[in-house]
């Protein structure tokens, strides 16, 4: 590794959580159907494991539920202002996603919505003017609801061709401007959060694992076909794959705890990336499928596509680590999953345990396993911020969090891990994808809105904004070639 290698520092949003603009020509997507529910023990589950009845209710204009993703944080209206803030921060890189249903409302149209095209034209133009590199996610937990109703979400193989049509338009229109491409956000979430990840509705008996893994297979094929198409078009950017990463620890040195860790880690963390990065189904999948009575339809053409169109880099979201045990133990929340509590770690108000050393450990494990450049495509602290009468936000807790994780990222780079970029999640406050609320804020830019969509949506700089701005400035000074 060259000594001059530097980390690109960035920020991220997702279309469904940020843009809003639902009353325009945009079609209804899966996130638009998730209601806000006051926090209870099962509120998060109810908003991410939707049934057909919940979809029908969401489509009913007379519904009394509040659907926060239809507002996002009104990025559609505040775009220019927000990008000015990104430029002031000195961001090297901005990660955002394209709303499939903003371009193709049902997902099946031949021609895109011109209003959607005009919006994204503006996004790309402003970023180019500010010389901010682009990390583009094509599918971030949102697909047109029409495809869910028509084909059963990604369970239907038809979604591959519709997605490829969407991707082809994005490539033709903006492909020359993108540095990093990501076909699917946190693709392994399709396993533990099937509605968000693969657009599956929850049936009376829950989810059928064969449907979940068939849907994931269709996403694998769609990712490979997307990469294949981009390479045929000679697009300048590189393509990655992304998983939610959890850095598993056994609770004790009990051999059974460690053995369970191996199996949990294989299917929850490595399975999807093994296929997308190595190009073939891993050995352990066959046994898992057999034990769970999972039968998949996989063609020889699929296998050839996967083998020949693997990713160029590996990206991870990392917020917290997970503890595994065969025994009963206290539980805590995590990124769309539940874990055993780690007695050595502090946690956020939402139960996510803070583990910067776990990030460094994970970066080593990921690079050792795949041997490809690594990007931290999501990291941040969800916390309750208070706006003072003087429009200030004193978020020392977020600054402390960022310092600790960024230090470990730089140490991993010094260790020899080729870490290309580190992207702060929710750089401007967005609706939480996990809990559908505004109270859980990640940004260094505050948005004046509450859980029910009330507020001015005005933007204010948090103390962490000034810290991150100085951090990036000083990093660049210290790492000039």
Considering the candidates 378, 414, 420, 437, report the single residue annotated as catalytic. 378
Active site residue 378: yes
Given a contact cutoff of 8 angstroms between Cβ atoms, the answer to whether 256 and 326 are in contact is: yes
CA separation, residue 48 to residues 31, 45, 252 (Å)? 9, 5, 32
Coil/strand/helix, residue 264: helix
Distance CA 104, CA 83 (A): 25
- 418 Cα distance to chain centroid: 21
Q: Reduced to 3 states, what is the DSSP secondary structure of residue 104?
A: coil
Residue pair 213/294 in contact (Cβ under 8 Å)? The answer is yes
3-state secondary structure of 362: helix
In the beta sheet, which residues pair with residue 422?
9, 376
C-alpha–C-alpha distance, residues 32 and 22, integer Å: 8
Alpha carbons 371 and 388: distance in angstroms, whole number: 47
Instruction: Report angle CA 52, 57, 59 to the nearest 5 degrees.
Output: 95
Q: At what angle do helices 114-129 and 158-174 cross, to 10 degrees?
A: 50
Tokens linked to 164 = 């490829």
Q: Catalytic site residues?
A: 378
């Amino acid at each position: 590794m060259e000594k001059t290698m530097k980390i690109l520092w960035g920020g991220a949003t997702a279309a469904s959580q940020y843009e809003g603009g639902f009353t325009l020509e945009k079609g209804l997507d899966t996130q638009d159907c998730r209601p806000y529910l006051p926090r209870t023990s099962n509120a998060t589950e109810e908003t991410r494991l939707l049934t057909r009845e919940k979809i029908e209710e969401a489509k009913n204009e007379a519904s009394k539920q509040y659907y926060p993703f239809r507002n996002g944080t009104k990025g559609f209206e505040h775009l220019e202002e927000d990008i000015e803030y990104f430029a002031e921060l000195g961001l090297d890189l901005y990660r955002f996603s394209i709303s499939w249903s903003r371009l193709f409302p049902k997902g099946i149209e031949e021609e895109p919505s011109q209003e959607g095209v005009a919006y994204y034209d503006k996004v790309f133009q402003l970023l180019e003017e500010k010389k901010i590199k682009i990390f583009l996610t094509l599918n971030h937990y949102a697909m047109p609801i029409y495809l869910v109703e028509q084909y059963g979400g990604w369970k239907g193989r038809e979604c591959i061709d519709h997605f490829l049509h969407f991707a082809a338009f994005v490539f033709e229109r903006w492909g020359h401007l993108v540095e990093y491409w990501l076909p699917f956000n946190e693709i392994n979430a399709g396993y533990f959060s099937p509605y968000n990840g693969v657009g599956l509705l929850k049936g009376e008996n829950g989810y059928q694992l064969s449907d979940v893994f068939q849907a994931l297979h269709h996403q694998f094929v769609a990712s490979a076909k997307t990469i294949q198409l981009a390479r045929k078009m000679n697009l300048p950017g590189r393509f990655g794959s992304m998983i939610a990463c959890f850095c598993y620890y056994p609770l004790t040195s009990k051999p059974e705890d460690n053995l369970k860790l191996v199996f949990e880690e294989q299917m929850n963390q490595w399975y999807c990336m093994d296929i997308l990065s190595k190009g073939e189904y891993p050995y352990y999948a066959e046994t898992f499928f057999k034990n769970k009575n999972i039968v998949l339809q996989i063609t020889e053409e699929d296998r050839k596509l996967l083998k020949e169109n693997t990713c160029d880099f590996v990206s991870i979201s990392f917020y917290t680590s997970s503890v595994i045990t065969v025994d009963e133990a206290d539980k805590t929340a995590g990124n769309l999953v539940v874990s055993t509590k780690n007695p050595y770690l502090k946690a956020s108000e939402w139960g996510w345990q803070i583990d910067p050393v776990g990030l460094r450990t994970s970066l080593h494990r990921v690079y050792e396993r795949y041997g490809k450049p690594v990007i931290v495509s999501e990291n941040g602290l969800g916390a309750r911020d208070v706006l003072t009468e003087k429009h200030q936000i004193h978020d020392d807790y977020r600054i402390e969090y960022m310092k600790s994780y960024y230090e470990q990222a730089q140490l991993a780079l010094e260790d020899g891990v080729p870490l290309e970029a580190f992207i702060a999640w929710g750089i401007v406050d967005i609706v939480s994808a996990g809990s559908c609320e505004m109270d859980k804020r990640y940004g260094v830019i505050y948005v004046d809105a509450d859980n029910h969509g009330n507020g001015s949506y005005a933007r204010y700089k948090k103390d962490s904004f000034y810290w991150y701005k100085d951090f990036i400035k000083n990093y660049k000074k210290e790492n000039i070639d």
